[in-house]
Chain A
Amino acid sequence: MNPKVITINPITRIEGHAKVSIFLNDDDSVRDARFQVIDFRGFEKFCDGRPFYEMPSITARACGICPVSHMLASAQACDELVNVNIPRTATLLRRLMHMGQLIQSHALNFFHLSSPDFLLGMDSDPAKRNILGIAAEYPDLARKGIRLRKFGQEVIENVAGKRIHSSDWIVPGGVKTPLAKEKADYLKHNLPEALKVTQETLAMWKNYLPKFEEDVENLGNFSSHYMGLVTDNGGLEHYSGTLRVVAPDGSIMADHIDPKKYYEHIGEASEDWSYMKFPYLKKLGYPNGFYRVGALARLNVASHCGTPLADKELKEFKKLGKKGVVQSTFHYHYARLIETLYCIEHAKDILEDPEVLSDRVWAKASVSNSEGIGVAEAPRGTLIHHYRVDKDGLITWNNMIIATEHNNIAFNKAVTQVAKKYVKAQKLQEGMLNRVEAVIRAFDPCLSCATHAVGSMPLEVQMVNSEGKLVDRIVR
Chain B
Amino acid sequence: MTTKTVSLKIDEHEITAQEGKSILETAIENGIDIPHLCFLAGLTKTGACRLCIVELKGQAKLFASCSTPISDGMEVITNSEKLKAYRKNTIQLLLSERTHVCSVCVANKNCELQALADKLGVEHVAFEREWTSENVDSSHPFLVIDRNRCILCTRCVRVCDEIEGVHALDLKLRGKDSQIIVDFDDSWDKAASCTSCRKCAKVCPVGAIYVEGEPLSETKDTGIADFVLSRRKK
Q: Do A and B bind each other?
A: yes
Seen from chain A, the residues whose Cβ lies within 8 Å of a Cβ on chain B are 49-51, 53-54, 57-58, 61, 165, 167-168, 364, 366, 391-394
B133 touching A393, Cβ below 8 Å: no
CB of B104 within 8 Å of the partner chain = yes
A51 touching B104, Cβ below 8 Å: no
B136 touching A364, Cβ below 8 Å: no
Bound CA span A74–B154, Å: 34
| Chain B 128-148 interface mask (CB, 8 Å, partner A; 1/0) | 000001001111000010100
B103 touching A51, Cβ below 8 Å: no
Known: A51-B138, A51-B144. A364 touches B213 (CB 8 A): yes
B residues 102-129 with Cβ under 8 Å of A?
Answer: 103-104, 108
Bound CA span A392–B189, Å: 10
B139 CB contact (under 8 Å) in A53, A54, A168, A392: A392
Which residues of B lie under 8 Å from residue A54 when comparing CB positions?
104
Smallest CB-CB separation from A176: which chain B residue? Answer: B215
Known: A49-B133, A51-B144, A364-B213. A57 touches B138 (CB 8 A): no
Instruction: Please give the distance in Å from B11's CB to the nearest CB on chain A.
Output: 39
A49 touching B136, Cβ below 8 Å: yes
Instruction: Please give the distance in Å from B59's CB to the nearest CB on chain A.
Output: 46
Smallest CB-CB separation from B189: which chain A residue? Answer: A392
Smallest CB-CB separation from A365: which chain B residue? Answer: B213
A50 touching B213, Cβ below 8 Å: no
B136 touching A394, Cβ below 8 Å: yes
Instruction: Please give the distance in Å from A136's CB to the nearest CB on chain B.
Output: 36
Which residues of A lie under 8 Å from residue B108 when comparing CB positions?
168
A-B contact count (CB 8 A): 28
Q: State how many residues of chain B have any CB contact under 8 Å with chain A.
A: 12
Instruction: Please give the distance in Å from B151's CB to the nearest CB on chain A.
Output: 19
B213 touching A57, Cβ below 8 Å: no
Known: A49-B136, A394-B138. A57 touches B104 (CB 8 A): yes
Interface centre among A49, A167, A392, A394 (most CB of B within 10 A): A392
A393 touching B104, Cβ below 8 Å: no
B136 CB contact (under 8 Å) in A51, A57, A167: A51
A53 touching B136, Cβ below 8 Å: no
A53 CB contact (under 8 Å) in B133, B137, B212: B212
A50 touching B136, Cβ below 8 Å: yes
Which residues of B lie under 8 Å from residue A168 when comparing CB positions?
108
Other than the given A53-B213, A392-B139, A394-B136, 19 more pairs (CB < 8 A) read A49-B133, A49-B136, A50-B136, A51-B136, A51-B138, A51-B146, A51-B212, A53-B212, A57-B103, A57-B104, A58-B104, A61-B103, A61-B104, A167-B104, A168-B108, A366-B212, A392-B138, A393-B138, A394-B138
Which residues of B lie under 8 Å from residue A364 when comparing CB positions?
213
A165 CB contact (under 8 Å) in B103, B136, B137: B103
Bound CA span A61–B105, Å: 13
Bound CA span A394–B145, Å: 12
Smallest CB-CB separation from A391: which chain B residue? Answer: B139
| 17 A-B pairs with C-beta separation under 8 A | A49-B133, A50-B136, A51-B136, A51-B138, A51-B144, A51-B212, A53-B212, A53-B213, A54-B104, A57-B104, A58-B104, A61-B103, A167-B104, A364-B213, A392-B137, A392-B138, A392-B139
Instruction: Please give the distance in Å from B219's CB to the nearest CB on chain A.
Output: 15
Which residues of A lie under 8 Å from residue B104 when comparing CB positions?
54, 57-58, 61, 167
Please provide the 8 A-B residue pairs with the shortest distance between their CB atoms, ordered closest to farther.
A57-B104, A392-B138, A392-B139, A58-B104, A51-B138, A54-B104, A393-B138, A394-B136
Smallest CB-CB separation from A49: which chain B residue? Answer: B136
Bound CA span A385–B100, Å: 24
Bound CA span A364–B139, Å: 18
Bound CA span A57–B139, Å: 21
Smallest CB-CB separation from B135: which chain A residue? Answer: A49
Which residues of B lie under 8 Å from residue A49 when comparing CB positions?
133, 136
Which residues of A lie under 8 Å from residue B137 when comparing CB positions?
392
| Chain B 143-164 interface mask (CB, 8 Å, partner A; 1/0) | 0101000000000000000000
